[in-house]
Amino acid sequence: MSFPRCCFICIFILLGLGIELANSQPYRVVGGKLLPYKTIIVDQSGHGNFKTIQSAIDSIPSNNRYWVSINVKTGIYREKVITIPVDKPYILLQGEGKTKTLVQWGDHDNTLQSATFTTLADNIIIKFMSFINSYKNYKPVRPAVAALVSGDKSYFPSVGFFSFQDTLWDNRGTHYYKSCTIQGAADFIFGDGQSLYEDCTISVIAAPLGPGISGFITAQGRVSPSQSSGFVFKNCVIDGTGTTYLGRPWREYARVLFYHTKMSNIIHPNRWDPGHFRNQV
């Protein structure tokens, strides 16, 4: 694909994102800086406003119009399911680092109910934390979603997503993933999102699939040539163990672009498997 068209796709996705950081959404102005209207502290030790992330989210009123920051202290938060509902936009959920603030659960069996974390609202920012689906029984492999992202205009700077199959369900909406780590083996970035992945690490753990069995990084779900959805990977790194395809289609018009991405020798020589459709929900 030529350089101009690649840049056009990236710019198109970024313009579609357009998170409303201050446009009619009230902020506090402190020292010339725009800050969230309200800050909530989550600390398992009891030194914050809440001990669980979900209880902090639940405290925000429906149809919220103000940016609210939920600051999550270091720790492993074993919560199922953390959900940002569709009627609670303008939430900034931030931890203290991808290796310090961890949200973990081990549900499996199907994509619809297994997600450790789900965000359905528009205008959401998640940063400096990781979401883990800890299900480890690979024989047989089961869907085990770490995060389901369905809201529009969502931004993920420095976030980790860890599982084996179906790690990140990039379901629908415009999304921007910056400096994230995404780990898995089978269809572990899938969905119908219009998403840009920039400076991300794609960590493949396909070796447990067994000898001669390759994994799949992506399974994109565009259903019509008129849809604007697709995955763009820009300045990313792909490494890990086993052998993997860059992707396979989930729907008939799947669209994925890797641009300026460093790939190790784990990539299958054919790179894509266009005839092997993903057949799960």
- Poorest-pLDDT segment among 32-36, 173-177, 180-184, 200-204: 32-36
Nearest to 57, CA basis, from 30, 26, 86:
86
User: Of 192-196, 238-242, 269-273, which range is least confident?
Assistant: 269-273
For the question of residue 187 being annotated catalytic, the response is yes
7 pLDDT band, cuts 50/70/90, is very low
Q: How confident is the model at residue 1 (pLDDT cuts 50, 70, 90)?
A: very low
pLDDT tens-digit map of 248-258: 998 888 999 99
* Mean pLDDT taken over the chain: 88
164 versus 3: the higher-pLDDT residue is 164
Residues 6+ apart with CB under 8 A from 107: 80, 81, 113, 114, 115, 116, 133, 135, 144
Residue 229: pLDDT band by 50, 70, 90 thresholds?
Answer: very high
- Angle (nearest 5°) at CA 167 between 164 and 172: 160
What mean pLDDT is predicted for residues 243-247? Answer: 96
- pLDDT given for residue 276 in this prediction: 67
Q: Residues 107, 122, 170, 187: which is the catalytic one? A: 187
Please provide the distance, in angstroms rounded to a whole number, between the alpha carbons at the two ends of the chain: 30
Kindly list the domain boundaries of the chain, sorted by start residue: 3-263
pLDDT score, position 26: 64
pLDDT tens digits for 197-226?
999 999 999 999 989 899 999 999 999 999
pLDDT digits (tens, 9 = 90+) for 109-167: 788 789 999 999 999 999 999 999 999 877 778 889 999 999 999 999 999 999 999 99
What class, spelled out in words, does domain 3-263 have in CATH?
A: mainly beta
DSSP secondary structure code for residue 121 in this structure: S
Q: What is the pTM of this model?
A: 0.90
Active-site residue, from 107, 122, 152, 166: 166
Residue 9 has pLDDT above 80, yes or no: no
- The closest alpha carbon to 216, from 255, 166, 175, 144, belongs to 166
pLDDT at 19: 60
